[in-house]
Amino acid sequence: MTTRPAGRADATATETDEEWRSRLVSAGTAAAAVPAGSTVYVGSACATPRTVVRALEDQPYAHLGLRLVHHLTDGVRALNSGTNFDHRTIFVGAELADLVREVKPLGAAVDYVPMSLTDLPADLRTGRQRLDVAVVQVTPPRCGRVSLGVSVDAAPAAIESAGLVIAEINPAMPWTEGASTVPVDRIDYFVDVPGPVITYSHPGVGDVGERIAGYVARVIADGATLQVGLGRIPAAVLAHLQQRHDLGIHSDVITDAVLDLVEAGIVTGRAKTVDVGVVVTSAAMGSQRLYDAIDGNPHFQFRPIDDVQAGLAAQYRLVSVTQALRVDLTGQVCVDALGDEIYGGLGAQADFHRAAAVSPGGKAIVALASRQPDGSPSFVARLGPKEAVAIPRHELRWIATEFGIAYLHGRSLRERAVALIELAHPDDRDALLDAAASCGLVPPGQQLRSRLPYPVAEERTVTLKNGIAVLVRPTRTGDAALLQELFFRMRPEDVKTRFFRNLSSLTRNAAEHLTSVGYESEMAFVAVTGGRENEQVVASAQYYVDADTGSADVAYMVDSAWHGLGLGHALHRIMSDYAARHGVLAFTADVLAGNGAMLHVLMAAGDAEVHTADGVHEVRIPTRTAGGESPWRAS
């Protein structure tokens, strides 16, 4: 371990301005004080101490023995240059990705360490991760202390554990409130550096990301406490929450997207179970506008990352959004590699995901595009050798792509594979279906007819005559099991009027025929009660278009216990509206003469043509859009 300068280790009194200024040195002098062979912690993200790191690179040959330990950094190497040091990083960003791919038998190397950021402080304090020197960036001192500003995360543990501490003083660094300050007598050398603080902006998310964000936002309720890490998709999710109320933030990092919600009065923290009324975070990455907002603001509490993580257990309605890179067909999630290339890192995502999964009313969500930027599928039958599992399949709850969102917890391997393939890019689905059959995940002949995004805009909340609200939504193939449950709750006479014969069971294949639709020439809706994680289907409707006539055959099935509440009428209006907007001219239906209730539903639409023969009413009803007279509201 590096030895601290004499008389410094036990300093406790508040130092005068003159005392700490006596340790104000040039970057070169501070770098020269770092002994060869030292292990050096480097501060992170927008507080990366670039000046001292570059001074270390400029030191004589003896400094080749240095090892830098860090996670997400910005400027830990000069642009388009190599490095004289070994790097042990738990996050591979763009500036190190090419060096990680280089395998060098001799000389400097960059090694990726698959570790949760929340575990790093304990490893530093206990010596499991050896540390000699810490280099960080701080504010100018006030009253004998400095603030770690925009990047607290693991820095307190590094400062506590290191024998030698070097701090860049950035006059533009915001003073953040919370557990973010360090006594100046804990710092051995100060180096003045010019502002501004490093800024960060997300690249444009694009249409695909916007669709994903829209699906994710729909399952986030008022009063939720959010953890939304870095990534274009998580940032876009926040932009879709402008109609929510009383959200809270308890996150490893915040960006300008969080500030937008704070300024709009949407993030109040009033519904949080702990830390009421404040935003809790460990780091900030954004614009000068964000830094100005957090400067001296007690509503933003900055804490070490392990403290932030420790506070998760008490949070109610915790929502975590994790951006993934690849997922296999059983639901195993990789976040730090694509094929043979390491990129990104675990961060704190697995810990937040797990906490959200067990939080009362929480949502643990994984989001990704169906294809990667290079065009490769994001869904595969099996993850590659370097694509390690960050979130195991038994912990995967919600997953979203631009083609929809699905809840997978408690689902079988077959049900998972079917749901995930429906979230994949349409051009990849046939190959994935074949691969799933080859792996034994789905039976031979499994059909998936959808090739379009799940039409989330067609979801409606309908209030019935008894005041109960039900959600009417388009079906997915995975709704087959719910439809089978509906079938077995129906009275035998109701089964006969729906299927024109006495059926004792509804096979999975038959049920999937009623739920797996293409959303164009065939469409199906279900009416459900309960939350999105424990839905019960109480009614269903399907139509199938005859290409020769432009009409569609339609059928309805309503839970016997839900008759007489207006559910059939509501389903018919929603189906007719959708069909008319998709070019269907009319519905046709065969209704048994004894099924007066269904005949009334169809006749109530008006302009119906009825022909009766052999105890069956043959009905033809023109479709029509709802226009401005819709009796339901969007959910």
633's tokens = 């509201």
Report DSSP state, residue 61.
G
The arithmetic mean of pLDDT across residues 356-366, rounded, is 94
Written as one string, the DSSP assignment of 430-475 is HHHHHHHHHTTSS-TT------S---GGG-EEEE-TTS-EEEEEE-
Residue 188 near residue 164 (C-beta atoms within 8 A): yes
Please give the pLDDT value at position 630: 43
Residue 369 near residue 378 (C-beta atoms within 8 A): yes
> Which of 16-25, 47-56, 92-101 is most confident?
47-56
Q: Report the SS3 class of residue 273.
A: coil
The arithmetic mean of pLDDT across residues 594-601, rounded, is 83
41's tokens = 């912690």
482's tokens = 């719910």
Give a three-class secondary structure readout of 111-160. EECCCCHHHHHHHHHHCCCCCCEEEEEECCCECCEEECCCECCCHHHHHH
The phi, psi pair for 460, rounded to 5°, reads -135, 145
- Whether 598 has a pLDDT exceeding 60, the answer reads yes
What's the order of all strands across the beta sheet hosting 177-178?
177-178, 300-302, 279-281
Q: Residue holding tokens 């007719």?
A: 576
Residue whose C-alpha is closest to residue 556's, from 600, 613, 521, 520: 600
Please give the pLDDT value at position 106: 46
Sort strands 379-380 and 586-592 into parallel, antiparallel or unpaired.
unpaired
Q: Binning pLDDT at 50, 70 and 90, where does residue 108 land?
A: low
Please give the pLDDT value at position 633: 38
- With the C-alpha atoms ordered 576, 407, 538, 496, is the resulting torsion angle positive or negative? positive
More confident call, 268 vs 230: 268
Report CA-CA distances (Å) from 635 to 238, 355, 456, 470, 472.
Answer: 19, 27, 10, 10, 9
Residue 105: cis peptide before it, omega within 30 degrees of 0: no
Q: Report the SS3 class of residue 509.
A: helix
Q: Residue 407 contacts by C-beta under 8 Å, 6 or more apart in sequence?
A: 397, 398, 532, 533
The arithmetic mean of pLDDT across residues 262-268, rounded, is 95
Q: Residue 83 contacts by C-beta under 8 Å, 6 or more apart in sequence?
A: 57, 76, 77, 99, 108, 110
The arithmetic mean of pLDDT across residues 272-287, rounded, is 91
Could you give the CA distance from residue 294 to residue 284 in angstroms, rounded to a whole number? 9
To the nearest 5 percent, what fractions of the chain are helix, strand and coil?
30, 25, 45
Mean pLDDT over each residue of the chain, to the nearest integer: 90
* Burial class for 109, CB neighbours closer than 10 Å (0-12, 13-18, 19+): middle
The arithmetic mean of pLDDT across residues 515-529, rounded, is 95
Sort strands 326-328 and 379-380 into parallel, antiparallel or unpaired.
parallel
| Model confidence pLDDT, tens digit, residues 387-419 | 999 999 999 999 999 999 999 999 999 999 999
Report DSSP state, residue 520.
S
